[in-house]
Chain A
Amino acid sequence: MLANRKIVHVLDDLAMGGVTRALKNFEHPELAAMGEHKTIDIRQGRVRASGPDDIAIIHFTANWKKLGWLLDLRLRGGFERIMLIEHSYTQGYESSEVLPKRRFRQMLRLAYRLVDEVVAVSKTQREWMIAHTLAAPDKIIAIPQSRICTDLLTMTPCNRDAGPLQIRAFGRFHKQKGFDLLIKAMARVPADLATLKIAGTGPDADQLEALAHGLDHVDICPPFDSPESFLSEADLVAIPSRWEAFGLVGTEARAAGRPILAARVDGLRDQLDADGFGHAPGSVSSIVSAIYRSVNAANINERGRSSRDRAAVEYDRMISSWCALLSRS
């Protein structure tokens, strides 16, 4: 490593959950040893390298207005390399939220052209970038997101008994997470087959409450402090997101030894594998049939265990991928 190298994390919104968590990953000793990590908010002024070996890692979400910042960084920043982590944009985001797709992709192509490497946070996201030629394939590196789950990895794995299937879901109450679809699906599943508890808070809380009104087998709970207690009775964690760059909820659920029931979209595709129960994104009826499949599955516990086995190695894999990428010259 280069003793005086600075690794500058450039962002514009410290509050965004995915970004804050990603920054935490760089505190891992191996990554911390790659250089001196600094965080800079681009709104506070021009970002400049302090030495010729400095690396800039961009965490903010590109848009037309920010292309100017990127151009400035490229031309006058003085960095040895500029990387961009794509925390936000995916196939699912595009199909759910973007109307002028051609213009949107053009913006991304320009943004990606201004950096040396684009880091996709899931393999599926990388494939989407390649399919729409957003950047040259050798410039896009997929480093599937992960996080440390020490506590979750040691909690008692799921133990499905004869009663209703215990489904849990958690996250921000926002359109992206698709909890509205999940509650609508539950309305079509008899209470003796499955029970759902959703924990969280957010702008759509009232809407979700209204949807769950009158459903005895759907409970909306406040956010929890420790996922361990919320998941202790869970047989399955549902992630019905409309889009999800990676979806660390899936990592947490799997680390807790619970299989996931998730939309086959973006980063959740990476996580479904043979153990998860997939459904078509944005489709209530597809969620219903996935719930029935999981209610009837005799091997929920086994699927939980092998989900955990996979989740257990992902964090180290992510760290070593980052080490390899940062030490590339």
Chain B
Amino acid sequence: MKPPIVSVIMPVYNTAKYVEPAIASVLAQTYADFELLIIDDAGTDESIELCRAYDDPRIQIISQANRGLAGARNTGIRNARGQFIALLDSDDLWEPKKLEKHIEHLRRAPHIGVSYAASALIDDNGQMLRIVQRPKLHNVSPQDIFLRNPIGNGSAPVLRRAVFEDIAFLNRDRDEHDYFDDTFRQSEDIECWCRIALTTDWGFEGIQGTYTRYRINEGGLSANVVKQFATWSRVKDRVAQLDPHFAARWSPYAEAFQLRYLARRCVRMGEGALAWSLMKDALKLCPRIILREPAKTLSTLAAASVLRFLPSSFNAPLQALIQKG
């Protein structure tokens, strides 16, 4: 049998509420020459049973003991037969032309290894939030990846399989190749993209249009923000190992942007004190982020200070101001 052109890799772990729309959005692709590899990451709900109900021959379900998102993607990539790999998280959705547009792009631009596009944010019920992540699309440098992660989320990129082969590393415990580092339980994406940017010649490029619907669950705890920063710091250390000169030049920016990003999340959660202290750290570390992105930096600072120092009646307009990313 001829292998498919694209392998779609979808790890599934306790997403019964979302997984069927996700699968439907893959089966509705205008580009039909794909296999859908569903990785059953040993969840505890009926998600996988819902997946088994589809009788489309392009769907294949692979079960494994729980290894987390990165480990499940690795299993998918190892089993993929296509020359292109598209990632989709099981709570997100694609627009019907997603694969068509990215495959066209990758065929047109042989030096590009990672193709991505803007994503529209949706809420828990699938409603559009009227917010679109619009990253930088062209002339993307390694520092753009490290500082701003233009790929945005784990359901946006379509990659050449060759890219993964170039960054594969041997996992000695299991004697097989890994691509994402499964010791990360968060920030596994950005770690992988940085490794591609710094150790291979493959280019990153975005295409016009919005082809992903990315679900955000802001059910956040401030403890998670602290944990997220700790994981991100491991990415920073990894980058320093890969390229010390690059790290010396860009780490302060990247760290300040990361602090600012977390401060914005805190503002959305109403955590004024934490937002304020994160912004103070960001500006102390790298005041130049004001010059690099004045509007976003100053609005975050303003929001954090309002939330920190003014009564709560000021919150509503503030949330509106800070909504975008």
Contacts and interface: CB of A to CB of B under 8 A. Distances in A.
A and B together in one complex: yes
A290 interface: yes
B243 interface: no
Nearest to A273: B17
Contacts of A272: 17
B53 A281 contact: yes
A280 B125 contact: no
Contacts of B49: 279-280, 283, 285-286, 289
Given A280-B52, A281-B53, A282-B53, A290 B46 contact: yes
Interface in A275-301: 278-283, 285-286, 289-290, 293
A131 B21 CA distance: 10
A114 to B, nearest CB: 27
A284 to B, nearest CB: 10
Given A123-B125, A127-B126, A264-B16, A280 B46 contact: yes
Contacts of A131: 24
A280 B50 contact: yes
Nearest to A293: B44
Interface string B44-84: 11100110110000000000000000000000000000000
B313 to A, nearest CB: 27
A143 B32 CA distance: 36
Interface in A143-160: none
Contacts of A280: 46, 49-50, 52-53
A101 to B, nearest CB: 14
Interface string A118-138: 000001000100010000000
B53 A283 contact: yes
Contacts of B44: 293
Interface in B24-57: 24, 44-46, 49-50, 52-53
B: contact size bracket? 10 to 19
A302 to B, nearest CB: 17
A286 B24 contact: no
Nearest to B51: A280
Nearest to A274: B17
Q: Is the interface of A mostly helix, strand, loop or mixed?
A: helix
B16 A283 contact: no
A: contact size bracket? 10 to 19
A177 to B, nearest CB: 19
A131 B28 CA distance: 11
Contacts, number: 35
Contact of A289 (B20, B21, B46, B125): B46
B24 A283 contact: no
B52 A283 contact: yes
Contact of A278 (B16, B21, B24): B16
B23 to A, nearest CB: 12
Contacts of A283: 49, 52-53
A264 B49 CA distance: 10
A127 B128 CA distance: 13
Interface string B215-233: 0000000000000000000
B45 A278 contact: yes
Of the listed residues B16, B21, B126, the one surrounded by the most CB atoms of chain A closer than 10 A to its CB is B16
B126 to A, nearest CB: 7
Contacts of A293: 44-45
B14 to A, nearest CB: 11
A279 B126 contact: no
Contacts of B17: 264, 269, 272
A215 B24 CA distance: 39
Interface in A33-66: none
Contacts of A279: 46, 49
Nearest to B44: A293
B24 to A, nearest CB: 7
A296 to B, nearest CB: 10
Nearest to A95: B53
Contacts of B20: 264
A269 B49 CA distance: 15
B126 A264 contact: no
A271 to B, nearest CB: 12
Interface string A286-328: 1001100100000000000000000000000000000000000
Contacts of B16: 264, 278
A264 B46 contact: yes
B29 to A, nearest CB: 15
A281 B51 CA distance: 11
Given A264-B16, A278-B16, A280-B52, A286 B126 contact: no
Nearest to A282: B53
A123 B21 CA distance: 14
Of the listed residues A123, A131, A264, the one surrounded by the most CB atoms of chain B closer than 10 A to its CB is A264
Nearest to A279: B46
Contacts of A278: 16, 45-46
A185 to B, nearest CB: 12
26 contacts: A123-B125, A127-B21, A127-B126, A264-B16, A264-B20, A264-B50, A269-B17, A272-B17, A278-B46, A279-B46, A280-B46, A280-B49, A280-B52, A280-B53, A281-B53, A282-B53, A283-B52, A283-B53, A285-B49, A286-B46, A286-B50, A289-B46, A289-B49, A290-B46, A293-B44, A293-B45
**7 nearest CB pairs, A to B:** A286-B49, A280-B49, A280-B50, A278-B46, A279-B46, A278-B16, A280-B53
Given A283-B52, A293-B45, 20 more contacts: A127-B126, A131-B24, A264-B16, A264-B17, A264-B46, A264-B50, A269-B17, A272-B17, A278-B16, A280-B46, A280-B52, A280-B53, A281-B53, A282-B53, A283-B49, A283-B53, A285-B49, A286-B50, A289-B49, A293-B44
